[in-house]
Amino acid sequence: MKLAVACGLVLSSLLAVSSTAEQFDFFYFVQQWPGSFCDTWRGCCFPDTGKPAADFGIHGLWPNYAQCHGGDDDASFFSIVGRRGKCWPEYCEREDGNALSPWEIRDLVASLGRNWPTLSCRSGDSFEFWSYEWKKHGTCSNLRPHDYFARALALKAAHNLTAILAAAGIVPSDTETYSLSSVSDAIAAATGATANLQCNRDKDGQTQLYQVFQCVDREAKKLIDCPLHMRSRCSGDRVKLPLF
């Protein structure tokens, strides 16, 4: 009898987990070069804690589908269900609530401040940036908040993009440019996995490396080759990595 009750409990808790688990395929782990965020026409502001290091900073860890679902040509411009369909889950409902608690990540705050700093002029409090990323993407990750942020920090520490690029001679400069293939080859050789690159433009319209999208398994632990190619917004073959 006891065994039957125990089996029932295990089964029902498994069902409860699986019925609420998000069925995404992989994570995009997105890091951003702060010099490229700051030197656009929009500009940036430093966090209350001071100017961040000249190092790639975390933008987010985003659950993503390998294939977009249910494309709809008539979808509203504002909907995430666009012509290609819904390509990632966002703002998921969680039984444990959607708000990020500072208490839950208190032991990570110092490291998050260094590695995931806000550059927004709306607020100098990086916690607001982490909360936004948690609500939009983290709630769909099937991870608890502490694991979500700890795994992002561990991924960044395991694959130091700034050092990987420097070892390949790709260092911040306002005059030098680098071929896109030298950037992607350096990342693939050092991490064992391909990544997607995204560019933006500085105030003079010059193309620069803005974000690196690495792809990660559903546990947010291991890099994988990116299953999708996204629009890079890099025009031409060369990019700069501006000083910060």
Contacts with ligand AMP: how many residues (CB under 6 A)?
12
Q: Rounded to the nearest 5 degrees, what angle is found at the Cα of 109, between the Cα atoms of 217 and 152? A: 10
Work out whether 40 is an interface residue with ligand AMP (CB under 6 A): no
Catalytic pick among 90, 93, 95, 133: 133
CB of 132 to ligand AMP, least distance (A): 7
Work out whether 24 is an interface residue with ligand AMP (CB under 6 A): no
Work out whether 134 is an interface residue with ligand AMP (CB under 6 A): no
CB of 113 to ligand AMP, least distance (A): 12
Residue nearest to ligand AMP (CB): 120
Give the relative orientation of helices 126-136 and 145-158 as an angle to the nearest 10 degrees: 110
114 versus 238: smaller Cβ distance to ligand AMP: 114
CB of 189 to ligand AMP, least distance (A): 27
State the SS3 of 25-39: CEEEEEEECHHHHHC
Catalytic pick among 137, 146, 219, 229: 137
Tell me which DSSP letter residue 66 carries: S
Choose one: 11-19, 57-65, 157-165, 226-234; the region binding ligand AMP (CB under 6 A).
57-65
Here the contacts of 101-107 (C-beta below 8 Å, separation 24 or greater) are 101/145, 102/127, 104/144, 104/145, 104/146, 105/130, 105/145, 105/146, 105/149
Residue type, 140: C
Work out whether 119 is an interface residue with ligand AMP (CB under 6 A): yes
Catalytic: 59? yes
Phi-psi domain of 240 (left: phi exceeds 0; alpha: psi -120 through 50; beta: other): beta
| Site of interaction with ligand AMP (CB under 6 A) | 32, 37, 57, 59-60, 118-120, 129, 133, 136-137
